[in-house]
Structure 1
C-alpha cells in the first residue's frame, strides 16, 4: 500500500511540474497571488479566532492586498514584500499593424488582440482557436504575423513545436515597416503625449520586465518597446 501511495505521489508531482513548465507566466503569477491571498486570510481568521489580533490584522491586510481587496491607503501593503501590483506609468500599451491591434495590460501582463482589417475586422483573437489562427498566418503581413505569434506564445506556449512555420513563412508578404511616429511610441509605452524622460524610462523598464524574451516574453514586442523609447528620447533630444 505504501508503494502504491508513493507511486501516485511521484506521478502527481511529475504532472504538476509539467503543468508549471507549460503555464503562462502571467497566469501563473496571478494564480500564486490568489492562492497566497487565500492562505493569508485563512491564517488571519484562525489567529483572530484565538484572539491574536496583533498577528491576525497584518496578515489579513497582506492577504487582502494580494487579492486586490485592500481599501485605498493600505493597498500597497503587499508591495513592501514585492508581491503586490506594481503600476507602471500607464494602464495598457497598444501596438498596431496593418491587420492586428495588440493590447498589453501593465498590471497582469496579459496580451489581448483584435483584428482591425480583413475579413475578421472587429473580432477578438480570443474568438479563434489555434488551428484557425495558424491558418491565417499566410494571409498576413510580417508585422501582423509577428504580433499574432506573440499572442500565440502567451496563449499556446507550445504551439511552435507543432506548427509548420517554414511553409507559412514562405507565403508572407513584405513588411510595410515605416519610421515609428511619436504618437505610436506613446501608445506602445502607455504614456500621455508630453511625458518626460523619467516617465519614458520607467515605462520602458516596466514593460521590458514583462516582455523580455529571457522572461518568456516576446522578442518582437520587446523590440517595439525599445524602438518606442528611442523614438521619444530622440524627440526630447531634438
Structure 2
C-alpha cells in the first residue's frame, strides 16, 4: 500500500510538470526540474516523518536526480559508500580466506589475489589493522621466505628505523633479543650487539636472522623515542 502511495506521488509530480510546461511554455526545463526536485524533497520529508523510510529514500534520490542530474546522484552515492566502507573503518587492506590466501582491498592492486601482486606492493599493504599485518606476515613467510631481507635492506647494525614496525609486536622484539619487558635502551643495544656477533656469516648466521634482530632492535628503539 505504501509503495503504491509513493508511485502515485511520483506520477502526480510527472503530471504536474507536464501540464505546467504545456500551459507555460516559457518556463525552462531547468525551472521545472527545480520545482519537481523541491516537491520531491518535501514529500520525502513527509514520508520520513511518518516512518516510511523506503519511500523517503526513493523520493530523496529522485529529488537529487532532478536537482543535480545523474552525475550528482552518482557522486553522492559514491561518497556515502566510501564514508561507510567497512574496509576504511577497520583499516584492513586485505581480505583473507580460510586457506591463508587473500585479495587486496586497497592500493593500485585492489581486487587482485595476493599471488598476482609483486613483493614490494605486498609489503606496502601492511596497514593499521593488527590482524591484517599478522596474517600478511605469515603469508609472506610462506610465499617469500626472504622478504624481510628485502624489506629491511642493509642489515648493518647502525641506527635506523624498522621499515615496517607494524609487522612485529613489542613482545616479539623482547623475545628475539632475549630481554625482559621494560629493558633500558642500553640493554637493548647491548643485546643487539651480542646477537649480531653471533649471527655473523662466519659463525653460521644468515641475512634473514640478522634482519629480524635489526627489526627487533628498531622496534624497541622506537619505544624510547
TM-score where L is the length of structure 1: 0.26
Identify the structure with bigger relative contact order (alpha carbons < 8 Å, sequence gap 6+): 1
Higher strand share: 1
Q: Which structure has the larger Rg? A: 2
